[in-house]
Structure 1
Amino acid sequence: MKKLFFALCLLGYGSFLTAQDYFPENAGVKVNNNNYTAFTNAKIYVTPTQVIEKGTLLIQHGKVVNASSNVNIPKNAVVIDLQGKSIYPSFIDVYSKFGVEQAKRKPGRGRSTQYEPSREGYYWNDHIMPENKAIEKFTYDDKEAKTLRAAGFGVVNSHIHDGIARGTGVLIALNGKGTNANRILDDRSAQYFSLSRSITKAQSYPSSLMGTLALLRQMYSDADWYAKGNATTTDLSLEALNSNKNLVQIIEAKDKSHDLRADKIGDSYGVQYTILGGGNEFERIEEIKATNAKFIIPINFPDAYDVSNPYAVDYVSLQDMRYWNQAPSNPKVLADNGIKFSLTTYDLKSPANFKEKLIKAIDYGLSSTKALEALTTVPAEILGKSNEIGALKTGYLANFLISSGDIFDKTTTLYENWVQGTKSVINAMDVKDIRGDYQLMVQGKSYDVVISGDISKPKIEVKQDTTKLSSKIAYDNNWVTLSFATDKGEKTYRMISAVTNTSDNLSGRLVLPDGTESKFTATKSKSFTEKETDKEKADKSIQVVPVTFPNVGYGFAAKPKAQNTLFKNATVWTSEEAGILENTDVLVKNGKIVKIGKDLGAGGATVIDATGKHLTAGIIDEHSHIAALSVNESGQNSSAEVKMEDVVDPEHMGIYRSLAGGVTSLQLLHGSANPIGGRSAILKLKWGEEADGLIYDNSPKFIKFALGENVKQSNWGSFSRFPQTRMGVEQLYMNYFQRAKEYDTKKKNGEPYRYDEEMEVLAEI
């Protein structure tokens, strides 16, 4: 029975902090440590905005007892003097893979021929897996935990990064000396979604973004139907989805436009997602703000492009260069617009790169206060844990950082990261800083020595006059060993010196190349100061180019707005009975033609002299596939449920080129991959407008049907999806329309029915 209970504790169930209190102690004397630890004389960031200049942090049993400038320190307290040092809450990452076994991509085999689900008792689509539980795939990874702690993190929220509905996450404290029983703060920390299908499931649908969005809509409708007890079979996926609906709902969007698409899905079903953004939210900040969502923002800013090769320059687009220049400003723009966001290590090569990227965001205008909020109080708020983590208030977990100064300064040293009251040493606090410039005398010869790098892991450079010599340094336990080689490495000098608090110079034993011993002295002439690299100087002097609409080549400096215009003396092609009118004026107000005639008054409108020019109605393209992020949903033989309006791409260069050719409106059609495609989008082409602004209000409703070779997969080579012949195509139409009629009859008769977005469309036809 004890073994079973212990196993459950490892999975994070039960009362984590007290579950093992009654376990026998067979390894020694059982003792409860009730001592306190007091950190005195420190600058304490209780929260990002509540700072104590010379305060004391008192902790016991892994929690904060008090943080104040006036703390009564108990007698049974270990007192640590942090004079001149700072204490911050440890960071929180809301979007992590830490410790959770991740799905592995199956080898691709082109188009999938699996049309039915592979599972029984679960949802009809394999890419919907809300029943997944990260806790069941969790194993504490001590090596990765050390890397995260070194980057300042004390808590991470992890999940299985696979599928459209991904299941629940697990919230973990990175306590290196704890057990899963007390590390796991929440084994159902959030419910996760994405706009990407599973990499492990082969079911063909959805094969596109518009199919994914349609599937999410249908999933929510089915969950509601199931929750009301209308289903006749058990569906473990929908049960899990409904069971988790009161958790934090997080969706991976990874792009400014996808942010808006995801939010629209959530709004339709009363779900307020927290959105994992793409780092380009600054390009559509007004629309992003209007979502009222909280965001999780990666800071994987692109590195500068190597354009030293003149041929490589041609492969770097203006859009890419703009993004490289503007991306580090994204956190600042979000903060300036009052949007709550947390920062994440997601998509970084390593957490070790996090500080460098964060400092870059600060260089681009993000305030230190907002940066700290995005790593402490905001992620705690997103997770609903604002009364447990993210601050150093009484009763909160004792998760905190000890640093030499401003945690976001490049030169600041992070000494320790305490998680649940357990210390992790990042850089030893009592290590003397030996960095600086020295004059080294060896056998009557003078050498210039520069020691730089980290305090505990220094680097060395030795020069004789202007010649740089091969050199090495090691610093450990207050002993420093040095070596350098002359004469192309043939003569190596080795030195060792004790590091003391009584002198800044280094002196000690010298071993000459011939093996004889002598003494050396390296006299310190200058303390270490961090030198700015050329790259850092460039970063500080860089000017962020203004966002254009769209933010690609040929964008406008401001979002275009309709203006009243009078065209004078044009040759007007009316396309009506009036025919062609010479020397005629056309007055446009509020986006519509209000008057055609001669000698019209401007009435405050902008006047354009059209003498010698022709004015016609814009061309309408009735069948187009431009300006779409995906054209076909080929995963099923009917995809009437998908909408081209979901995938309008306002930055597609086809819009710019079509306008140049005189096209002003078009019907954006689904492709011909299946007999019944998706619903059309009727667009007004406006370069610089966002996606919804291109769609006509109250658009007439059209859908794409197709015949011929594509729909029977003549060139696909799968020979598995019905139909495979033209006879089959006819029968498919007959079958779907019959089903739609039956669906519509049931609906009109007031009978209970499962809302089916596909049948809704076909019934309307």
Structure 2
Amino acid sequence: MKMRLLVLTFLWCSSYLFAQDYFPKNDGVKSKNNNYTAFTNAKIYVTPTQIIENGTLLIQNGKVVQAGKTVMVPKNTVTIDLSGKSIYPSFIDIYSDFGIEKPKRPSRSGRTASYEPTREGFYWNDHIMPEKNGITEFKYDTKKAKELLEAGFGVVNSHLQDGIARGTGVLIALNTDGTDANRVLDDKSAQYFSFERSVIKNQSYPTSLMGTTALLRQMYSDMSWYAQGKSETKDRSLEALIANKNLVQIFEAKDKGNDLLADKIGDANGIQYAIVAGGDEYENIADIKATGAQYILPLNFPDAYDVANPYQAGYVSLEDMRYWNQAPLTPKMMADNGISFSFTIHDSKSSAKFKENIMKAITYGLSKTKALEALTTVPAAILGKSSKIGSLQTGSYANFLITSGDIFEKNTTLYENWVQGSKTIVNDINLKDIRGDYSLNTDGTAFAISITGEASKPKVDIKQDTVKLKAKISFANDWLDVSFSTDEGKKIYRMTGLVTTTDELSGRLILPNGKEGNFKATKTKSFEDKEKDEKEKKTPKIMPITYPNIGYGYTSIPQQETILFKNATVWTSEDAGVLKNTDVLVKNGKITKIGTNLNGGSAKVIDATGKHLTAGIIDEHTHIALLDVNEAGQNSSAEVTMEDVVNIEDMNIYRNLAGGVTSGQLLHGSANPIGGRSAIIKLKWGESAKNMIYDNSPKFIKFALGENVKQSNWGSFSRFPQTRMGVEQVYINYFQRGKEYDALKKSGKSYRYDEEMEVIAEILNGERFISCHSYVQSEINMLMKVADKFNFRINTFTHILEGYKVADKMKEHGVGASTFSDWWAYKYEVNDAIPYNAAIMHSQGITVAINSDDREMSRRLNQEAGKIVKYGGVSEEEAWKMVTINPAKLLHLDDRTGSIKEGKDADLVLWSDHPLSVYAKSEKTLVDGAVYFDIEKDKLQREAIAKERNELITMMLLEKEGGKPTQKPSKKDKEEFNCDSL
């Protein structure tokens, strides 16, 4: 009792520790409390790796004085004996919105998209708000603080989670007894960024990930320019960026691909972000490590799916099933690869789920030391606050937890969370642990009682012989109440008692007949829960990661092979034509020899007798393998590039390989007259985006004409242009501006770098080529005239369904054509389309390619080429060139691919039949000499996928049977992009 009074006295006085010392004292004569508090005989985790057994923690004035085995305890010290208990540093969450109201999307009606900024004196884009400061939005939230304190957190780093550039954060100690004068540890703790638009701002740009990326690039360029004093106007946003450039920079990416994109932006500007991860980084761990970034990792592992219904189970993709199975690997794999990471409760369903997922990560192999580091020393280091928080080193804040034992064990109780020397009681430290097995004899009947669960929230099972009875228990303030019933609920027993010892439970008993008496339950076994613990600690079977990590992914990335194709019918797509009974040798990713009776040495020999070997199909116009297709926020998006949004997990890559496609131009859509820059890729299934994109890739950009760009079909009445006449004026305006920009740049005078104008200048200088979406002959003529006016030429008209009307003028201009074989009448402006279009343009000497613009058609471009033989009498060889060497010429890649010629890339397809036949199947598709599709391997993969799905479904069913939470299956239809997808 004396000790309790001393502690209460200390706590009452400690509130005065936080009054600022220069304030006048108008509330009486009080002296400052300089008492010490010593916590003795505890297991102390000074840091995750510095552990003191039976040590003493000495604190004073909210700070750690010393932690050690032998600590000199001053006379004016309150001593608290923590024998058998542990002390840990309190946790830190550096990605929070604590105390800052979540922005709400305003209600809007009608056409409200804004193409102009709404603010004056700030950056031109409303989603760039670095001038925002978390401290101005902050209000201490006592209710939320209680929840965080009970979860073990002592410090949170909070910010306004809205917009692309979000401003600065505020570092808060969760000291509910204090005031903002002492609990605000840093009012500008970090600067924050994301790929997400503001929910409260309505400026239309950007509408896509690639637009956001381009905006960030331009923002940093403008920041540098503004810092040099070149601007004639004030920009408070850029001034804030400059002022905050030396703060910790935190970027919310939330996806393994976006992690790399954020790091790429940072690298280009000399910034190393701390990156908020997505939890799927285990799939791409080598590239994640290569960023050199520190990561902030949410622990929001998915629940198993309820797959009891076989029809609903069919909704769940193998990708999602694997993610449930594999996601808890991320912390372990990061630790194993030396990647520094901290945990955040951000995006967790609850604090209880957060703790559960930490322990799940530990069962997947994460060490407890690394788990503790991720909650303490690492977040402190990321923020540059290691001397103050995250440990119990001398001089740090007295932020610590008192627990009954190992904090990462399920049955450990968190008693107290001290922040800046101020105590929050989570569970009574003097709580008696009544868990265990007891025997009870009453009214001539024997009962077996088992008390389990948490010490503060026990559960009870009572059996009569082997029959389990319905029972209830409550335990608070040492008072125990238990009731149970027998005879199918007809007889009810009620027991109440004050617990003085845990060796036996005793008190008053009321029998079913109403008589009162006493009961005594004697402990027969201490609580261990070993069986359940062992079951939970056992690492589940983890499915192997594939490349990419979805169905039909490979266990390893295909490697180049030395292969000799024997006795094939070889379609060269060169002047040599079609060669019968010919051998082709592939080595080091190149076609090295073509001839007969070749000796390949140790090469793998493939008998191609009766089969056809061709160059890989090249799709000049496709929208597969993309995360976005249109940046529709402005009438020009020349600053964006599809290389930023290559989707390496698009199943259409694999399907295209199965259709003999080896290369494709991933084009921006047709939402605006000037679209984005292209990504030209090789379909290397399982590789990273950077390894798919052609090295030294030719530079292309998408332009568009017609209905889409004047917004005929998507109802915008606020963005220019609205007519075909307006489209022409957009081009003239941009090319004139680009001409003036280029002239200024070449003059050597000072100029503001404008990525959009840089691209326009590249077009004018012949360094970037235009592939233009087109239909109506009048507009085709118009754009050629605009190009002539500015002294450059259009490279390719794509779609070009009225090309047959102006083929002579196209030939004169020097433009190529990439068209459909026989599409027509799918919208008004294609009413005049005819299937003889390609043949007519070809007859005029135009380089003609057949493209898909469609993820389904791209899988059968060989058949689309075959149609050209029928419609117009084009020869088989010339028709085949329309999907091989001709698109290669249009893409300026014909020196590297598109035909079978010695020295060219080994992008090859072995067909089972005549390649223009509807019966032909790709048996093998090679890219750079590696087999990326094999029809026999495909059969094995189908079997493996079915087996893996069944195994994962069984594991999920067991989860459900074990009482674990599950989620309802839902069908997730992935959007398949085309030109006008928004």
Q: TM-score range by the shorter chain?
A: over 0.9
**CA offsets 1:142-178 (integer angstroms, 9 cap, x no match):** 2211211221111111111111001101111111211
CA contact (8 A) 1:111 1:204 kept: no
**CA offsets 1:601-630 (integer angstroms, 9 cap, x no match):** 324433323232211101110110111100
Deviation larger for 508-517 or 646-655: 508-517
CA distance in 1, matches of 2:662, 2:550: 20
CA contact (8 A) 1:479 1:497 kept: yes
Q: Partner amino acid for 2:133?
A: K
State the partner residue of 1:610. 608
Matches within 5 A, 1:84-233: 84-107=84-107, 113-233=113-233
* 1:28 Cα offset (Å): 5.5
Q: Partner amino acid for 2:363?
A: D
CA distance in 1, matches of 2:373, 2:76: 34
CA distance in 1, matches of 2:23, 2:442: 63
Matches within 5 A, 1:18-57: 20-26=20-26, 29-57=29-57
State the partner residue of 2:731. 733
CA distance in 2, matches of 1:702, 1:239: 35
CA distance in 1, matches of 2:27, 2:516: 50
Q: Describe the shift of the 1:109–1:287 C-alpha distance in structure 2 as closer, same or farther (beyond 3 A).
A: farther
Give 3-state SS (helix, strand or coil) of 1:222's partner. helix
CA contact (8 A) 1:405 1:412 kept: yes
**CA offsets 1:246-276 (integer angstroms, 9 cap, x no match):** 0000000011111001100110111111100
Q: Describe the shift of the 1:573–1:415 C-alpha distance in structure 2 as closer, same or farther (beyond 3 A).
A: same
Give 3-state SS (helix, strand or coil) of 1:335's partner. helix
* 1:560 Cα offset (Å): 2.0
Give 3-state SS (helix, strand or coil) of 2:307's partner. coil
* 1:210 Cα offset (Å): 0.5
**CA offsets 1:729-755 (integer angstroms, 9 cap, x no match):** 111111111111111111111222111
State the partner residue of 2:795. none
State the partner residue of 2:569. 571
CA distance in 1, matches of 2:536, 2:483: 35
Q: Describe the shift of the 1:185–1:447 C-alpha distance in structure 2 as closer, same or farther (beyond 3 A).
A: same
CA contact (8 A) 1:17 1:181 kept: no
Give 3-state SS (helix, strand or coil) of 2:305's partner. coil
CA contact (8 A) 1:114 1:202 kept: yes
* 1:185 Cα offset (Å): 0.7
Q: Partner amino acid for 1:205?
A: Y
**CA offsets 1:501-557 (integer angstroms, 9 cap, x no match):** 3x61111112345654321222222222226559x8377252111110000000111
State the partner residue of 2:525. 526
CA distance in 1, matches of 2:761, 2:194: 30
CA distance in 1, matches of 2:408, 2:110: 47
CA contact (8 A) 2:665 2:680 kept: yes
* 1:483 Cα offset (Å): 2.3
State the partner residue of 2:675. 677
Q: Partner amino acid for 2:342?
A: S
Q: Is 2:389 the partner of 1:403?
A: no
Give 3-state SS (helix, strand or coil) of 2:736's partner. helix
Matches within 5 A, 1:542-691: 542-691=540-689
Matches within 5 A, 1:748-763: 748-763=746-761
Give 3-state SS (helix, strand or coil) of 1:100's partner. coil
CA distance in 2, matches of 1:682, 1:632: 17
* 1:464 Cα offset (Å): 3.2
Q: Describe the shift of the 1:764–1:398 C-alpha distance in structure 2 as closer, same or farther (beyond 3 A).
A: same
State the partner residue of 1:445. 445
Q: Partner amino acid for 2:667?
A: L
- Normalised by the length of structure 1, the TM-score is 0.95
**CA offsets 1:660-683 (integer angstroms, 9 cap, x no match):** 111111111100001110111111
Q: Partner amino acid for 2:304?
A: A
Q: Describe the shift of the 1:329–1:111 C-alpha distance in structure 2 as closer, same or farther (beyond 3 A).
A: farther
Q: Partner amino acid for 1:662?
A: G
Q: Partner amino acid for 2:745?
A: K
CA contact (8 A) 1:58 1:66 kept: yes
CA contact (8 A) 1:342 1:374 kept: yes
CA distance in 2, matches of 1:111, 1:50: 61
State the partner residue of 2:259. 259
State the partner residue of 1:505. 504
CA contact (8 A) 2:643 2:679 kept: yes
Q: Partner amino acid for 1:528?
A: F
CA distance in 2, matches of 1:268, 1:604: 45
* 1:477 Cα offset (Å): 2.2
Give 3-state SS (helix, strand or coil) of 1:731's partner. helix
CA distance in 1, matches of 2:593, 2:444: 98
CA contact (8 A) 2:46 2:52 kept: yes
State the partner residue of 1:6. none
Give 3-state SS (helix, strand or coil) of 2:538's partner. helix
* 1:589 Cα offset (Å): 2.0
CA contact (8 A) 2:452 2:460 kept: yes
* 1:443 Cα offset (Å): 2.4
CA distance in 1, matches of 2:628, 2:535: 42
Q: Describe the shift of the 1:257–1:86 C-alpha distance in structure 2 as closer, same or farther (beyond 3 A).
A: same
> What is the number of residues matched between the two proteins?
748
Deviation larger for 151-160 or 575-584: 575-584
Deviation larger for 679-688 or 50-59: 50-59
CA distance in 1, matches of 2:62, 2:561: 64
Q: Is 2:420 the partner of 1:420?
A: yes
CA distance in 1, matches of 2:532, 2:111: 50
* 1:352 Cα offset (Å): 2.1
State the partner residue of 1:517. 516
Q: Describe the shift of the 1:48–1:137 C-alpha distance in structure 2 as closer, same or farther (beyond 3 A).
A: same
CA contact (8 A) 2:623 2:668 kept: yes
Deviation larger for 563-572 or 263-272: 563-572
Q: Describe the shift of the 1:358–1:120 C-alpha distance in structure 2 as closer, same or farther (beyond 3 A).
A: same
**Alignment gaps of 5+ in structure 1:** 1-15
Give 3-state SS (helix, strand or coil) of 2:232's partner. coil
Q: Which structure carries more helix by proportion? A: 2
Q: Partner amino acid for 1:343?
A: F
CA distance in 1, matches of 2:731, 2:201: 29
State the partner residue of 1:272. 272
CA distance in 2, matches of 1:110, 1:672: 24
Q: Is 2:232 the partner of 1:239?
A: no
Deviation larger for 455-464 or 569-578: 455-464
**Alignment gaps of 5+ in structure 2:** 1-15, 764-982
* 1:472 Cα offset (Å): 2.6
- Normalised by the length of structure 2, the TM-score is 0.74
State the partner residue of 2:884. none
CA distance in 1, matches of 2:51, 2:667: 58
State the partner residue of 2:834. none
Report percent identity of matched pairs: 70
CA contact (8 A) 2:164 2:197 kept: yes
* 1:495 Cα offset (Å): 2.1
State the partner residue of 2:482. 482
CA distance in 2, matches of 1:590, 1:110: 59
CA contact (8 A) 1:147 1:352 kept: no
Give 3-state SS (helix, strand or coil) of 1:311's partner. helix
Q: Partner amino acid for 1:524?
A: K
CA contact (8 A) 1:436 1:526 kept: yes
CA distance in 1, matches of 2:127, 2:118: 10
Q: Partner amino acid for 2:192?
A: Y
CA distance in 2, matches of 1:434, 1:24: 51
Give 3-state SS (helix, strand or coil) of 1:315's partner. coil
Deviation larger for 70-79 or 203-212: 70-79
CA distance in 2, matches of 1:165, 1:727: 37
Q: Describe the shift of the 1:764–1:36 C-alpha distance in structure 2 as closer, same or farther (beyond 3 A).
A: same
Q: Partner amino acid for 2:113?
A: T
CA distance in 2, matches of 1:241, 1:360: 40
Q: Partner amino acid for 1:520?
A: F
State the partner residue of 1:471. 471
State the partner residue of 1:8. none
* 1:108 Cα offset (Å): 6.2
Deviation larger for 611-620 or 324-333: 611-620
Q: State the Cα RMSD in Å.
A: 1.9
